[in-house]
Amino acid sequence: MTYSAPPKSGQPAAAADRPDSAQARTVRVPDDREGQRLDNFLLGQLKGAPRSLVYKLVRSGQVRVNGGRAKAERKLEAGDEVRIPPVRLSEVGDKAPPPKGLLQALEAAIVFEDARLLALNKPSGLASHGGSGISHGAIESMRALRPGQTLELVHRLDRDTSGLLVIAKKRSALTELQALMREEGGISKRYLALLTGRMPDGVMTVDAALHVGLRQGGERHVQVNAAGKPSLSHFKVLERRGGQSYCEVRIETGRTHQIRVHAQHIGHPVAGDDKYGEVEVNKRLRDQVGLKRLFLHASTLEFALDGGKAPYLLNAPLAPELIDVLDRLG
C-alpha cells in the first residue's frame, strides 16, 4: 500500500472545530506527563498549532511554568502548573482534517494493539509526522482517528519506507521504549530490501559512520563520513531475482537514511531510491517490473517492556506492490 498525499485544501475549518482559546488557562501536569518536554506538552494542549508558534509563545514569555518563564526543552514534573496563553489558530491558517481515505487506510493498517502500544504498517509516501509542507503525517492522522486518546510517536520511519511504526498509548511505554532505543541491543530491528546487483553470499556487515548534511533548499543528505555518528548494518541475501538481491537487513543503530546510505556505500543501492540510488537501474525496474517506490520495508521489531518481563514481537507484512515486483522479477 502506497499513500499519495492529496492536494492541499483551501477550505477553512468550521469555527466550531477550531481549537482556539479566548483566554489564558492554567493546566496542571498529570502524573503520566512527568518528564515530558514543555514544547511537546504544549503541542498536545494546542491541537493543530505549528511547532514554530509554540516556540514563539515560549520565547516571548507568554507560557509560564509555576509562575515563571521557562525554556522549550524544560522537563516538566507532575503537579507543575503551566499557563497557556490565548491562541487563535485561525491567524496562522486553519488545517483541514485528514482525508477520510487516509483515515480508513490507517485503520486497516493497524497490525497490533494493546493497552500500551499501537503498531501500524505505515504505507510508503506517508510521513511519520507533519512538518514543513506536510499537513498530515501518520501521528496527526492517528490522533484524528482516535480523538481523546493520548498517542505519541515512539520512533520515525522515512516517508518513502513502509512498515512498522510504533505509537505509544501510555507515557510509561513511551519512556521505556525510548530508553531501549538508546541501549545497544535494546530493540531488534529487521528490514526487507531489494538491493541492485548481485550481493555476495553470507552476511555483509557495514560499519561506517554517517553524517547528516543539508543541501541547498534545506534537503537532508547523508554521507559516509568519519566525523559522523557510528552506524552499523548487517545485510544478508535471502534470494536473487532478476539479477537483483532480495535481502534482510538488521540495524544496530537508527541513523537517518542509514540502510539507504550503507547500501549505496557497498555499491548495491536500494532499488527505487531516487536520492541515493542508480537512475538507470531504477528506470529499468520501473519500466520492466513496475517498481514505483523505494523497496525498503520495516518488517519486524522485537523488544521487551517491564524490565524484560513483557516480550513483544511485532511484524508487518510486505506491501502488496512490493510482492508484485518480486513476482515479476521471477
* SS3 of residue 52 by DSSP: helix
Contacts of 19 (CB under 8 A, 6+ apart): 46, 47, 48, 49, 89
Contacts of 243 (CB under 8 A, 6+ apart): 197, 198
Question: Rounded to whole angstroms, how far apart are CA atoms 313 and 173?
Answer: 15
Q: Exposed, middle or buried, 82 (CB in 10 Å: 0-12/13-18/19+)?
A: buried
Residue 133 CB coordination number (10 Å)? 8
Burial 263-272 (b: 16+ CB within 10 A, else e): bbbbebbbbb
Question: Rounded to whole angstroms, how far apart are CA atoms 215 and 235?
Answer: 28
Question: Are residues 172 and 186 in contact, defined by beta-carbon separation less than 8 angstroms?
Answer: no
* SS3 of residue 314 by DSSP: strand
- The catalytically annotated residue of 17, 32, 39, 158 is 158
Asked about 306 being catalytic, the answer comes back as: no
Residue of 258, 256, 235, 255 lying closest to 247 (CA atoms) = 235
Question: Are residues 248 and 236 in contact, defined by beta-carbon separation less than 8 angstroms?
Answer: yes
Give catalytic residues, as residue numbers.
Answer: 158
